[in-house]
Amino acid sequence: MKTEYSLEVFAITLAMVMAFIVASTLLKSKIESAEVPHAYKFINGMRGLAAIFVFINHAPFVLSNLGVQNTVFSSWGQLYPNLGSFGVQIFFCITGFLFFDKVIKNEKIDWIDFFIARIKRVAPLYYVSSLLVFVIAASFAGFKILDKESLITISGLISFNFIDNPMRIGGVSLVPLSSVTWTLIHEWRFYAVLPLVAIFYRSRYKIIIMAVAMMLAAIDLGYSAIVCWVYFLTGIVAASVHKITVTNRLLRGAAVLIAVLAFVLTCGLVEVPGYGALRFVLTSLFFICVTIANPSFLHFQFLNRMSDISYSIYLLHLPVLFVSFKVVSGFVELSSIDKITFWAINFSTIPVIVVISMYTFVNIEKRFMRKSKAQQSEGRLAQSA
């Protein structure tokens, strides 16, 4: 098991994290005016960091994603892709945790309302971002978009990519514009099986069912290159563990230490599959230990702000990176820019991403969340009348 750590890469990574925090802090009144109350602050903290980690994964490789070969410098750092896959895995764990926690606390769940609420939460911003991606790609393709490849891609965008498609509009690849949306397929699949999970949880055979699930996870991790569903299982286990209140400081301190060690090792791993067995073990250790420890640093308000706009950051950072570097390419040759210029462009996109994410959170995400809550309140009043 090889590891690689670079002081330069660490410094750049830390600077990007701080840039997001500073930018969101400058807009704190706007973001906090639409703040969403959450039961678990430590989950907020992890969600906010996970969104930044996904950006950190894509920013260093934006030139190669655009098909530009720069011979002046290398932006490679093992930390970047490791943080990217770690961020996605944490998102999956959080989903598993929150929705299984809902199953634990509610014996009867209106699943129709649940799915409607999920559609209203996920779909509006997804379709706005997909429309943006389509317009950007179509404009660079000269709006020659009536070919078979483009039409299949459009059907894929409409279906949350459940319809397999070439990810090309008018010959323009959507990979540098929307390569993160593949994860939403796994989210929808988890939502689909959640009613079965609720039934199994109330079953007398739940221990056996969990054991079988663990066995299937081990088999899948051993034979498949990319395994995502197991991280929802980690979230389910963490939600079960979280029912036990841990007050012993020594135990909580040990959990923090294990989480830190798992994170540090994850950051430096070399030649280890991003979604393989070792990464699953390390991410699961991290997430479950954080659940046990509930560390106070994850409760900071700046992470709560990042959590609120995390979905917008997740979907919109790639289009901003793409357009920014395309605009710059009209003035300088990207294949020959130096390292300082490259990172200056990347860092300049961060406040833009935060501003756009703040706007979409307040005016799109929050608006549909409010509508859902208002409808739920009306339903309760009607039932009590």
At 290-345, the pLDDT tens digits run: 999 999 999 999 999 999 999 999 999 999 999 999 999 999 999 999 999 999 99
Averaged over 106-125, what is the pLDDT? 94
Q: Say what the pLDDT of residue 104 is.
A: 93
Q: For residue 349, is it within any domain? A: yes
Q: For residue 202, is it within any domain? A: yes
The domain in which residue 323 lies consists of 2-104+177-372
- Global pTM reads 0.92
Is pLDDT of 378 > 70?
A: no
Q: Say what the pLDDT of residue 381 is.
A: 33
- pLDDT confidence bin for 155, thresholds 50/70/90: very high
Q: For residue 90, is it within any domain? A: yes
Is pLDDT of 379 > 70?
A: no
Is pLDDT of 377 > 60?
A: no
The least confident of 230-239, 267-276, 367-376 is: 367-376
Q: What angle do CA 185, 324, 92 make, to 5 degrees?
A: 25
CA dihedral for 268, 271, 275, 276, sign (positive or negative): negative
Q: Say what the pLDDT of residue 10 is.
A: 97
Q: For residue 115, is it within any domain? A: no
Q: For residue 21, is it within any domain? A: yes
Number of independent structural domains in the chain: 1
Q: For residue 248, is it within any domain? A: yes
Compute the mean pLDDT over every residue in the chain, rounded to the nearest whole number: 91
Q: For residue 7, is it within any domain? A: yes
Check if the beta carbon of residue 373 is closer than 8 Å to that of residue 113. Answer: no
Is pLDDT of 37 > 90?
A: no
Q: Say what the pLDDT of residue 372 is.
A: 52
More confident residue, 35 or 239: 239
Give the SS3 label for residue 270. strand
Q: What angle do CA 98, 39, 290 make, to 5 degrees?
A: 65
